[in-house]
Structure formats: C-alpha cells, structure tokens
Chain A
Amino acid sequence: MSSTVKEIEILTVDDAELMRISREGTLSLNLNEMKAIQSHFGALGRNPTDVEIETIAQTWSEHCVHKTFKSIILYSEGEEEPEQIDGLFPTYIQRATEEIAKPWCVSVFSDNAGIIEFDETFNLVFKVETHNHPSAIEPYGGAGTGIGGVIRDSLGTGLGAKPILNTDVFCFGMPDTPYAQLPKGTLHPKRVFKGVVAGVRDYGNRMGIPTANGAILFDSRYTANPLVFCGNVGLIPRNRCDKSVEPGDLVVAIGGQTGRDGIHGATFSSAELDDTSESLGSVVQIGNPIMEKKIVDALLQARDRNLYRSITDCGAGGFSSAVGEMGEHVGAEVHLERVSLKYEGLAPWEIWLSEAQERMVIAVPSENIDELMEICEAEVVEATVLGTFTDTHRLQVFYEGAIVADLEMEFLHNGLPKPVKQAVWSPSKHLDMASRDEETENYTDDLKQLLASPNIASKESIIRQYDHGVQGGIVINPLVGAENDGPSDACVVTPVIGSRTGVIVANGINPKYSDVDPYLSAAAAIDEALRNIIAVGGTLEKTALLDNFCWGNPDKPDRLGELVRAAKACYDIATAYGTPFISGKDSLYNEYSDTTTGEQRAIPSTLLISAICVMPDIQRAVTMDAKAPGNLIYVVGNTYAELGGSHYFDIHGFIGNNAPAIQPDEAKLTMERLSSAINSGLVRSCHDCSEGGIGVAAAEMAFSGGYGMSLDISDIPTGDGIIADDYLLFSESNSRFIVEIEPQHRQAYENHMAGIPIGCLGTVTNTREFVITGKNNHRIVDTPINILKSAWQEPLLFN
C-alpha cells in the first residue's frame, strides 16, 4: 500500500469512536451507516483505506443519494395512527409521473436531468439544483459554481445537451438586517445577495447562456442559510439521449485540472451549518466558465461524431462519484497518478474526491480515442485516460501501481442501510387579521407598501446584469412593457433560430404559506408555476415540472413532517393538473446553530417548482403589460378569503391561518379554457395573480403598459361570499389571472370562458390614473401609475 494512503481503524473500535471518525473526517455518516461499513469490512477481515471510506461517505451522502426521500417514514398527524410511507420519492413524486404517463416524457429521474420531446429533431433536458451551503460561506464562488454545476448536468445528460437557458431563484435574509442582529459567523444578506448575483452573472454570461427567468425572495430566516437554486435547459438531438458503458471502454476525464478545492462538498452540504463553518473555505469550489465553454465546444463535436458511449459530470464527490456511478453495472479501474493536477502534493483520496470544477468523465471505446484527442487538441482542452471500465463489478483505484481502494459496486451502491424515520405534523395556530375596512377607506398606501415589499419589488437592477439575448432566441423577455421594465410571468425562447417552436420556463415558490401548512405552500408553488406558463401562452398539456425541496434537518420529526405534507401535495396537485415531474433535487439540513449559545435556526420549508412547456407557435405568446386604452380588464378565477401567509397580512405583522388552497377541478378547467382563449388570439395581455393579489397584479399591468385603469371590485367573482374591500384586493387565492380583452372580442371571449368564474372589472384608460372603486362606491385606490411604479422600482436599486 502506498505510504500516502492511510488505513482507518474501524474493526476494533466502539460506537463513540466510529462517530468521532465520521465527524472529524466531515464524512456526515450516522452511526448505523458507520456500523454497516464496520460489518462489511469485518466480513472482509480488513480495515478500509481512507480512499475507500471517503468514497463510501460521498456515495452515501444525503447530497448524492437522497436517502431521506427514499427512507421509510412513520408519519402521524396529531393523535392519529402513524402512516407508513415507503419513500417520499417513489410514493409521491415518481408515482405521480407514472400515473400521468405523458408520452412525451423521454427520460425521467434516471439521468442527470429530465428529458422531454421538443420537435422532430430535438429533445429538451431540464435540471435545477441548489448550491446553498457554499453560497452561504463564499457567495460569488458558491453561486458561480452552482450555475456551472447545473450546466454540466445538461451536458452530462444523454450523450450531452447544448445548454440554452439558465434560470435562477434566490432566497436571502432581509436586505435591511441590522449588523448587530447577524448570527455569528454569517455574512450580511446584502453581501450574500451581491455576491450571488455577481457569481451567477459572470458564469452564465461568459458561458453564453441566456438567463431569462428567475425570482428573488427575502425572509429573515434565510440570513444564515441563503438558498441558491440554479437551473439549466439543454437542447439535445433525439438520437443522442441514451447512454451505456461497455467493459473495455476507456475512462476519460475532460476539462479542468484537479486541485484541493471543493473537497468534502457533498458531505459538507449534508450537514447543518454553524458559526464555525466559515473556516471551511476549501469545501467551496473555484469556477472557470471559459474552461467549461471549451468543454462544451469540444464535447458537442465529439458527441456528433459518436466518439463516446456515456458521459457524466464531476460534481459532488468528484471522480469518486462520477466513475462510481458510470461503472455501477460493470466495474471500473482508475489510476490516480494519471490525473492532471493543478499542483503537487495531493494525497490519493484528495485527488479522488476533489470537486474541482469543469471536469466531465466520458466512456470512450478505445478505437475512438485518437479522434477524441484530436478534437480536444484543436479546442485546447485537456483530456486524460484515467483507466478502463471493467467487468469485475468492483471499483478499483490505483495510485502509482498500488491498489488504494477495492470496493464491490453492489455494496457501494446498495449497502446503505435504509433508515426508518419518524415524522409528525400538527398545524400551528397564528393570529388572524380582520378586514381593515372599518378603519380605512383608502388602500392606496397598502398597495404602495405591497409593491415596495422586497419579494414583489422590481428585480430589474439584477435582471439587466444577466444576458437574456445571447443565442439569439429570446421571444418573451424577463422585462416587458412600454418601457421594457414590467415583470414578465415567464420567459419564452426559440432554441432553433427561425423556428416557431418555443420553450417556456417559469417557476413557483411560496415559502410564506409553509408557516400555515407546507401542503398548501407546495400546492401553491405548483399552481403558480403553471399560472405563469399559462399566462404567456403555454398549455397544461405540454408542461413538465421539476421539484426542488430546501428544508431544515430531516432528522427532526417536525421538519420531516413538513416535508411529508409538501410531498403529498406534489402528488395530489401534479396528478390533478396532469403535469408530470421529470427531475428534482433536495437540499436538506439548511439549519444553523451557534455552538456557543446553542441558538438554532431553520429556513422556512421551501419548495421551488420549475415548469417547462413546449409551445408549438411562439407567435401566440402574450405579455402582461396593458396594451391599449378602452380594452376591458377581467379577473379569471374565484377569489376566496385566503390571506393566511399573504403579503398583505405580512406588512401588517400577521401570518393568519387561511392560506390559499386549490380547487383542483375548477382550477384545471380555468387554466385550460384561458389557455385556449389565449391561443385563439382573444387575449391581449394576461398576468398571473400571486403575491399581493388582484391589487398588485392589476397595478403591475397598468404601469408596465403605461396606462391607467378604472376598476370596480364589486364584480370580482368570489367563492365564499367574501366582501371586504381589502380581502378582495389582496387575497392570494390560487388559479387566478387578470386579462385584457379588446372590446370587439368581448363576446367571443365570454363565450369561450362560459362556466368559468370571470368578472369584468373595468377598462384600461388613457389617463395615468390607477383607480379602484370599492363596495361602497368610493375610491379605495386612486393614484397616478408613476407613483406606484416608483414604489415598485426603488427598493432593490442598490444592487
């Protein structure tokens, strides 16, 4: 055995020592897992090497294997008998997709990204990932490598997709947090905000990928644990979607060199953060977008010449998981001294685990290696043959001739003990807020305050730093309207220039509703993502979803209970709408503890739903900005007294209890009818009703279009006799839209929507006044649109 490899004494030690080894080695393995390793090596009669135990820890990490979503859960609500759930993922996510059974789903949950059909030549791949822990410690590098990593997921799907679109969603602490209130060892939210935006900007722009969709949310509970979701859509020829590995294929690494950066990234992100995490600088990777662009340039040529049979990216766990996964069903032999290093002095386990960025591993039939090397030379990209795939069903790692790891693939991939976890959920009770109609007759200030709340306020200063137009396919920009500054519901791009077939990408996220019920939060996230798709001209029929769960510590039964609630909603709502999940990811342990005071913080349970829809003719797309005076403004969908978790309650210091629910049958019909009205050319503009309700949505349409509106809320269709002015204006009920209809289409539109709750509230006016009349026939909102617009535009200008 090489002198640089250590044997780890586990055969003879007690439980306490096993846990010490796990903790001090940042292995993030629990006692059951350590004992499984102990007994496996006990049977072999030897101790593991450091390379072996590190390989197992990476492969078994929450980050890589998603064990919480696969474990058995005993779940109970209140006093009820516990329900046994045999894995959240198979029960609620995978099953939904199987039951929906869309023929255009090409590959789901198995590859690095989901694949759906696009046109006769191409398919689309889509993946969203998080890079939360690294972004908390080093925002610029953490976010940049987050986007870099998800781009490599597209490149590592099938035989490699060309990245065509980025989407990014961030959750930060409040930008005005006083420094004195910062938890120990954490960065100020503004610092995190600026660093994350710059990181995503510099990586995405340099790669030449448009970033045309996203969202930014704020909540004080994200201060110590910011969330950074990075997504990428790729375009792949239909005949390049399958991969395989044959014994004898060469293990070839392409791209950047290997250094000590990012070691233990996978296991680090599978544990909570604390006030000392900032000292763990080496767990954050270092990004180089130009290197990644070169890899894309080289690999897509090699793909089109059929030079390799399989590909995956080096993400979490580095070579250990890339080679381990590719060789799972055959076996692999790797020689670590061949790896191209940034600098000398790395121990074999460090080379094997390094999460140095911009590296891909491909399986190359030996007869193709010369041609592959020629392409790499022409593109000035380094490629190295590290070893071969074998038929031994073992993962064998050598260093300077000596074997340093020899693991059975079966144990590595299936030896992880399946835990049984406890989950409980009991609803919290919050103070409710009564309508303020008694105390005020005018809600103009409330509307301005809502528009200025950071979740709703304009993100233009950030959006403009991203290139939306590169690749030449943008059809609906993230900013729309008379002055190109209104908030678009979704983006539309044509990945093939000149073709009318488009891709719509949107997202939905509502962590505030989690405080009431994570089920409702998850349901609303799906509804919102779909509303955004419908609002620009998409259809439910052609929409697929991604789920990204960011949660606290799932070892705590109440946190896990919230996860169960959310997963149940995913199944219920996705099947109701007929929109399948094609990929997803979870990031758990988003908690912070202060090791001196014992203070513990968790993020609000946060589910991001990303939606992708294929649009047959982009000329049918509509935007949200009011188009012309005289046009009629309608609300589509029922309003209920659902202000629990709403922004209106929030600005008055309440949470409330009635978070927006979904009436699935009614909602589905509403979306289908509206979608077909838009595709029939009956709708001039359409905006989804979300945070801040009808009041905010209508105001945004007005000032984005540069016109006033005159509206009367007495014609808002309601589901439960809601009559208070403020409730009608600011309720956040799901499945609602505001649409603008030209007078000559009024009849056709109303006929088209027969049976759907709609109400005509008034018209677009040729003034610059935004006026809403309340139930007692007096003006409850009355203000120039430029006042509303500045209230909305100013808060986040610091970026």
Chain B
Amino acid sequence: MKPKVLILRTAGTNCDVETDAAFQFAGAETALVHIQNLISDKINLTDYQILAIPGGFSYGDDIAAGILLAVEMKHKLTNALNQFVADGKLIIGICNGFQVLVRTGLLPGADTSEMAQRATLAMNTSAKFECRWIDLETQESPCVFTKGIKAHVYLPVAHAEGRFTAPADVLSELETNNQVVFRYAESGYPSNPNGSDADIAGICDTTGRIFGLMPHPERFLMKWNHPRWTRLVETQNTDSEEGDGLVIFKNAVNYVKANL
C-alpha cells in the first residue's frame, strides 16, 4: 500500500502543488486538504502517515510568518496532532511550514508534551524577501528525511522571515542532540541568506521524524531546475531527470513503508 500524505492547505498556502508532485514522484498517495476539513472532522489526520505543511504566506503572514496557522493548529487540532506524533508518524514543514512548526512548538520540540514555542524565524538581516540558490551542508542528525543524502546539497530559498534564532540553551541543546539537519555552507551574507544563528537552515526533533527547513527541496525535483544546469556537462549527459530535492520525499515514503 502506498503511504498516504496529507498536504495541509489554508488561505495563502502556495507551494502545495509542487509539494504534492514531490510526494507523488516519491511514490506516495497524496491529498491536498484545507485545514477547515480537519477542524470540522470531515477528514481525519489518523488516516495519513505523513503530514506536509508547504510554503506560502498562510493568512498573509499577518502578525508574523506562520503564526496564525500555528495557533489554529495548536488550538483546534491539539489532540489529532499529539496523536499523530505519538504514533511515530512523519511531519515536514517547508519554508512557511517550517515557520509554522517552530511556532507550534513541534520544532525543535521539548521534553514536556505541551507545545511551547522555543525558537523563532525572524526577519532576514537583509530586511527583505530574497530568492536565491544556496549551498547547504548536511549534518549528522537522526532526521529520517535526509538519510543518505549528499554531504553538500544545493537548493533555493525564497523568504523574508527565515532567520533561525533561539536562546543560547536551546541552541546548545540542538547541537548536543544533533538536531541541526542542514547548515548554510558558509557564514555571512549572502551564503547564509537570512543571518540565521549557527547558520541553521533546517532542524528536526529528537526523534528525527519532524523536520523543518527554509530551503525548498520541492523546487528541485527535475535536474533542469538547477540554475546552472546549462553549464553542467555532467547534468546534461545523464539520462536521469531527477533533481537533488526528490530524495528527501523518497526517504519519507521509504521510512513509512519500512516502519509504519
């Protein structure tokens, strides 16, 4: 049976179609679901093994990026979410989805079961929205989404609020638990495009089953999405059409097949 992915939508979600394509290419069965349908119990989260929160500007990012959707999830889907996590299922949040996961407290996660926000994604130090491709360094981590991924990954970012920052104790806990999944390969603008603490681009919870990142792996499903593919002779000469972002979604699907 194909693993089932629920791709959560609400007003202002806008990377849902490519996230959907990513999971389909990875071999999953997908459903694009408006949060109203979860709140009204028309659709049950328990029927799915992976929850994906795509990028976009949920509710216009009014107040701050992702905060309104996070509040809605925390207060209206409390039990369903807790159950989903307790069942050992997978959650990925990309860009706005990462912002949502951090604001719900699901990332970086705490030792108490109560969802409390412990980090944030603040305004870029450049003070503006920027779209560019960046080099990422893969870290040693328990993250199931990045298993076996290349040591260096090249992905696009496109955001105004992506500066990961947290109190010193939270940051050191992240390091101790190996929860940092991706770092920007070099410090300093524009390699670290937003000024994140410790060059953090993506983190997971301690189990490695909840993953959030600012870069967009779902925008690199095909090799010709690479901004320099016309220069890369090796890319042009390979028969495979796959882009480097797809492996993240394949890993999730394979994990579900093997474990759930």
Enumerate A347-388 residues with CB–CB distance to B below 8 Å. Answer: 378-380
Chain A residues positioned under 8 Å from B216 (CB to CB): 469
Taking a contact as CB atoms under 8 Å apart, the answer to whether B231 and A627 are in contact is yes
Q: B76 an interface residue at 8 Å Cβ cutoff? A: no
Q: Which of A106-114, A203-211, A325-333 participates in binding chain B?
A: A203-211
Taking a contact as CB atoms under 8 Å apart, the answer to whether A378 and B221 are in contact is no
Chain B residues positioned under 8 Å from A639 (CB to CB): none
Chain A window 602-626, contacts with chain B (Cβ cutoff 8 Å), 1 for yes, 0 for no: 0000000000000000110111010
For B224, give the chain A residue with the smallest CB separation: A475
Question: Contacts A290-B11, A468-B131 known; A625 to B222 CB distance under 8 Å?
Answer: no
Chain B residues positioned under 8 Å from A475 (CB to CB): 224-225
Taking a contact as CB atoms under 8 Å apart, the answer to whether B12 and A498 are in contact is no
Per the bound structure, the CA–CA distance linking A621 and B15 in Å amounts to 25
Q: A747 an interface residue at 8 Å Cβ cutoff? A: no
Give the bracket for the number of chain A residues in contact with chain B.
35 or more
Taking a contact as CB atoms under 8 Å apart, the answer to whether B60 and A290 are in contact is yes
Q: A497 an interface residue at 8 Å Cβ cutoff? A: yes
Per the bound structure, the CA–CA distance linking A619 and B238 in Å amounts to 12
Per the bound structure, the CA–CA distance linking A467 and B128 in Å amounts to 12
Chain A residues positioned under 8 Å from B218 (CB to CB): 472
Closest 8 CB pairs of A and B: A208-B14, A472-B18, A290-B60, A497-B21, A623-B230, A469-B219, A467-B158, A206-B57
Q: A289 an interface residue at 8 Å Cβ cutoff? A: yes
Taking a contact as CB atoms under 8 Å apart, the answer to whether A290 and B221 are in contact is no
Taking a contact as CB atoms under 8 Å apart, the answer to whether B227 and A477 are in contact is yes
Per the bound structure, the CA–CA distance linking A675 and B210 in Å amounts to 49
Enumerate A291-310 residues with CB–CB distance to B below 8 Å. Answer: 293-294, 297
Enumerate B1-47 residues with CB–CB distance to A below 8 Å. Answer: 9, 11-15, 17-18, 21-22, 25, 34, 36-37
Per the bound structure, the CA–CA distance linking A618 and B228 in Å amounts to 14
Taking a contact as CB atoms under 8 Å apart, the answer to whether B57 and A465 are in contact is no
CB distance from A67 to the nearest CB of B (A): 39
CB distance from B155 to the nearest CB of A (A): 10
Give the bracket for the number of chain B residues in contact with chain A.
35 or more
Q: A480 an interface residue at 8 Å Cβ cutoff? A: yes
Per the bound structure, the CA–CA distance linking A171 and B132 in Å amounts to 25
CB distance from B36 to the nearest CB of A (A): 6
Chain B interface (Cβ < 8 Å from any Cβ of A): 9, 11-15, 17-18, 21-22, 25, 34, 36-37, 55-57, 59-60, 128-133, 156, 158, 216, 218-219, 221-222, 224-225, 227-228, 230-231, 236, 241
Per the bound structure, the CA–CA distance linking A290 and B96 in Å amounts to 14
Chain B residues positioned under 8 Å from A470 (CB to CB): 14-15, 18, 55, 158, 219
Enumerate A448-480 residues with CB–CB distance to B below 8 Å. Answer: 464-477, 479-480
- 22 of the cross-chain contacts (CB-CB < 8 Å) are A201-B129, A208-B14, A379-B11, A380-B36, A464-B130, A465-B128, A465-B131, A470-B14, A470-B18, A470-B158, A471-B17, A471-B18, A472-B218, A481-B228, A484-B227, A484-B228, A497-B17, A497-B21, A498-B221, A498-B222, A621-B224, A627-B231
CB distance from B69 to the nearest CB of A (A): 12
Question: Contacts A378-B36, A470-B158, A480-B230 known; A290 to B131 CB distance under 8 Å?
Answer: no
Per the bound structure, the CA–CA distance linking A86 and B170 in Å amounts to 75
Question: Contacts A206-B12, A471-B18 known; A464 to B36 CB distance under 8 Å?
Answer: no
CB distance from A741 to the nearest CB of B (A): 15
Per the bound structure, the CA–CA distance linking A470 and B94 in Å amounts to 12
Taking a contact as CB atoms under 8 Å apart, the answer to whether B14 and A207 are in contact is yes
Per the bound structure, the CA–CA distance linking A379 and B21 in Å amounts to 22
Q: A8 an interface residue at 8 Å Cβ cutoff? A: no
Taking a contact as CB atoms under 8 Å apart, the answer to whether B224 and A208 are in contact is no
Chain A residues positioned under 8 Å from B25 (CB to CB): 498
Q: A482 an interface residue at 8 Å Cβ cutoff? A: yes
Label chain B's interface by main secondary structure: mixed
Chain A interface (Cβ < 8 Å from any Cβ of B): 201, 205-208, 288-290, 293-294, 297, 378-380, 464-477, 479-482, 484, 494, 497-498, 618-619, 621-623, 625, 627, 685, 705
Taking a contact as CB atoms under 8 Å apart, the answer to whether B59 and A290 are in contact is yes
Per the bound structure, the CA–CA distance linking A625 and B222 in Å amounts to 21
Question: Contacts A294-B11, A472-B18, A480-B230 known; A379 to B129 CB distance under 8 Å?
Answer: no
CB distance from A624 to the nearest CB of B (A): 10
Per the bound structure, the CA–CA distance linking A701 and B236 in Å amounts to 20
Cβ contact of A464, chosen from B18, B132, B221, cutoff 8 A: B132
Chain A residues positioned under 8 Å from B221 (CB to CB): 472, 497-498
Chain A residues positioned under 8 Å from B36 (CB to CB): 378-380
Per the bound structure, the CA–CA distance linking A465 and B131 in Å amounts to 6
Chain B residues positioned under 8 Å from A705 (CB to CB): 231
Given A208-B14, A480-B227, 17 more contacts at CB 8 Å?
Answer: A205-B158, A208-B15, A208-B57, A290-B11, A290-B12, A379-B36, A465-B131, A467-B129, A470-B158, A472-B15, A472-B225, A473-B18, A476-B230, A494-B222, A621-B224, A625-B231, A627-B231
For B59, give the chain A residue with the smallest CB separation: A290
Chain A residues positioned under 8 Å from B222 (CB to CB): 494, 497-498
Cβ contact of A469, chosen from B21, B37, B158, cutoff 8 A: B158
Chain B residues positioned under 8 Å from A201 (CB to CB): 129
Chain B residues positioned under 8 Å from A474 (CB to CB): 219, 225
Per the bound structure, the CA–CA distance linking A470 and B157 in Å amounts to 10
Chain A residues positioned under 8 Å from B131 (CB to CB): 464-469
Taking a contact as CB atoms under 8 Å apart, the answer to whether A622 and B230 are in contact is yes
Per the bound structure, the CA–CA distance linking A201 and B18 in Å amounts to 21
For B14, give the chain A residue with the smallest CB separation: A208
Per the bound structure, the CA–CA distance linking A481 and B18 in Å amounts to 25
Chain B residues positioned under 8 Å from A497 (CB to CB): 17-18, 21, 221-222
> Which residue among A201, A288, A622 has the maximum number of chain B CB atoms within 10 Å of its CB?
A201
Per the bound structure, the CA–CA distance linking A703 and B98 in Å amounts to 37
Chain A residues positioned under 8 Å from B18 (CB to CB): 470-473, 497
Per the bound structure, the CA–CA distance linking A484 and B130 in Å amounts to 14
Per the bound structure, the CA–CA distance linking A465 and B56 in Å amounts to 15
For B128, give the chain A residue with the smallest CB separation: A465
For A460, give the chain B residue with the smallest CB separation: B132
Per the bound structure, the CA–CA distance linking A465 and B59 in Å amounts to 20
CB distance from A576 to the nearest CB of B (A): 30
Cβ contact of B56, chosen from A208, A379, A472, A494, cutoff 8 A: A208
CB distance from A764 to the nearest CB of B (A): 13
CB distance from A212 to the nearest CB of B (A): 10
Chain B residues positioned under 8 Å from A468 (CB to CB): 131, 158
Taking a contact as CB atoms under 8 Å apart, the answer to whether B227 and A619 are in contact is no
CB distance from A488 to the nearest CB of B (A): 10
Chain A residues positioned under 8 Å from B60 (CB to CB): 206, 288-290
Chain A residues positioned under 8 Å from B59 (CB to CB): 290
> Which residue among B55, B59, B227, B241 has the maximum number of chain A CB atoms within 10 Å of its CB?
B227
Chain A residues positioned under 8 Å from B21 (CB to CB): 472, 497-498
Chain B residues positioned under 8 Å from A625 (CB to CB): 230-231
CB distance from B215 to the nearest CB of A (A): 10
Per the bound structure, the CA–CA distance linking A59 and B219 in Å amounts to 44
CB distance from B6 to the nearest CB of A (A): 16
CB distance from B247 to the nearest CB of A (A): 16
